[in-house]
């Protein structure tokens, strides 16, 4: 009769091998807490969608979707609910912000990733983080009391209004700058060193390598930074509420006052309006447009990263 093999491993390793099978109540608790946190975030998002959809449906029973999306006048007092003036102002401030944030953010990212020493990097990055931590209401008053007077001195007192979309957009660009620069720096740092060394071996300068090799190689990350920055600008509230102006106006002149979607929501929700009025329900319709817009921008950003991402070995 063959002897029975009672063990395949030494006696001293049996406790180690059975370690993974032991009951760990604390890990189960941690896992339950993590699942709960994930569920809360998902349920919160679903709750927002349900509330926006429910309140907006009551609004769209009275106002057609076509009139809402294509109307050129927003005057609830006479039953006109065309969102184009609000969308136009939102786009003007957002594009002005990106005209500031993208070039400066990309320049800062290239400097930090390619030129700056470790000591300089450790000094500049906290400064950028401080910019992102300043309350937006401070930026709003800065735009109103500093940037707007400077623009009025530059363009003339009669050429630019006290409340205007340009000053709000410029200051929003400063607010978004840390986000854009951080994402661009991460994208540039992800480019392998072998590409840099190959460019140097062919006689390229550091500037040529950065502009012609590194930046194109990090295109997907830079594009994602631009789109996420744009999404952040679209949803900004306090700066535009304080500096851009009140009253929906369909104008392409950034030196004039105009009201954005978020600014309109803040102004109307702070007033005395009936909860059953069309003016109140219109706020949820505007909020739904904002939600869909930011969601679409985030999805486009993810798709760009996924489609154009370079895979290096």
Q: What is the pLDDT of residue 96?
A: 94
Q: Considering the domain boundaries, does residue 313 fall inside one?
A: no
> Of all residues in the chain, what percent carry a pLDDT higher than 90?
36
> Would you give the end-to-end CA distance of the chain in angstroms?
56
Confidence of residue 246 (pLDDT cuts 50, 70, 90): confident
As a whole number of Å, the CA-based R_g of the chain is 27
Confidence of residue 313 (pLDDT cuts 50, 70, 90): very low
Q: What is the CATH number of the domain that holds 224?
A: 1.10.3720.10
Q: Are 294 and 52 in contact (CB under 8 A)?
A: no
Closest CA to 231 of 107, 91, 124: 91
Q: Considering the domain boundaries, does residue 41 fall inside one?
A: no
How many domains does the chain divide into? 1
Listed in order, strand segments (DSSP E) in the chain are: 74-75, 80-81
Residue given tokens 């550091």 in the structure block: 206
Q: Considering the domain boundaries, does residue 19 fall inside one?
A: no
Residue 74: what are its φ and ψ, rounded to 5°?
-120, 95
Closest CA to 261 of 131, 96, 84: 84
Q: Considering the domain boundaries, does residue 247 fall inside one?
A: yes
Confidence of residue 293 (pLDDT cuts 50, 70, 90): very high
Q: Considering the domain boundaries, does residue 218 fall inside one?
A: yes
Predicted TM-score (pTM) of the model is: 0.82
Q: Considering the domain boundaries, does residue 261 fall inside one?
A: yes
Contacts (Cβ under 8 Å, ≥6 apart) of 300: 227
Residue given tokens 């500031």 in the structure block: 100
Round to whole Å and give the CA distance between 35 and 203.
Answer: 54
Q: Considering the domain boundaries, does residue 92 fall inside one?
A: yes
Closest CA to 55 of 252, 295, 285: 285
Query: What does the pLDDT average to over 162-169?
Result: 93
Mean pLDDT in the chain? 85
Q: What is the pLDDT of residue 21?
A: 52
Other residues' Cβ atoms within 10 Å of the Cβ of residue 283: 20
Q: What is the pLDDT of residue 143?
A: 93
Q: Considering the domain boundaries, does residue 173 fall inside one?
A: yes
Round to whole Å and give the CA distance between 248 and 267.
Answer: 11
Round to whole Å and give the CA distance between 46 and 87.
Answer: 25
> Of all residues in the chain, what percent carry a pLDDT higher than 70?
90
Round to whole Å and give the CA distance between 149 and 151.
Answer: 5
Domain that residue 147 falls in: 85-277+301-308
Contacts (Cβ under 8 Å, ≥6 apart) of 142: 171
């Amino acid at each position: 009769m063959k002897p029975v093999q009672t063990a395949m491993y030494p006696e001293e390793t049996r406790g180690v091998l059975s370690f993974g099978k032991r009951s760990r109540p604390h890990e189960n608790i941690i896992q339950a807490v993590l699942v709960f946190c994930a569920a809360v975030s998902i349920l919160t998002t679903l709750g927002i969608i349900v509330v926006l959809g429910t309140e907006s449906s009551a609004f769209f029973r009275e106002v057609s979707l076509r009139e809402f999306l294509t109307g050129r006048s927003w005057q609830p007092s006479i039953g006109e609910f065309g969102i184009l003036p609000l969308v136009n102002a939102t786009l003007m401030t957002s594009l002005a912000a990106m005209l500031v944030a993208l070039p400066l953010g990309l320049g800062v990212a290239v400097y930090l990733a390619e030129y700056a020493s470790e000591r300089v990097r450790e000094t500049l990055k906290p400064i950028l983080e401080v910019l992102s931590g300043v309350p937006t209401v401070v930026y709003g008053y800065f735009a109103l009391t500093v940037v707007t007077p400077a623009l009025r001195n530059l363009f003339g007192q009669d050429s630019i209004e006290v409340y205007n979309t340009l000053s709000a957009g410029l200051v929003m660009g400063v607010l978004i700058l840390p986000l854009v620069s951080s994402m661009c720096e991460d994208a540039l740092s992800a480019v392998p060193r072998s590409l840099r060394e190959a460019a140097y071996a062919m006689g390229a300068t550091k500037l040529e390598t950065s502009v012609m090799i590194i930046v194109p190689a990090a295109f997907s990350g830079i594009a994602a930074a631009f789109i996420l920055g744009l999404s952040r600008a679209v949803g900004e509230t306090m700066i535009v509420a304080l500096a851009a102006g009140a009253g929906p106006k369909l104008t392409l002149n950034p030196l004039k006052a105009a009201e954005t979607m978020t600014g309109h929501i803040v102004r109307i929700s702070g007033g005395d309006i009936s909860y059953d009025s069309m003016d109140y329900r219109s706020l949820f319709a505007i909020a739904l447009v904002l939600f869909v817009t930011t969601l679409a921008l985030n999805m486009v950003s993810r798709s760009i990263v996924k489609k154009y991402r370079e895979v290096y070995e």
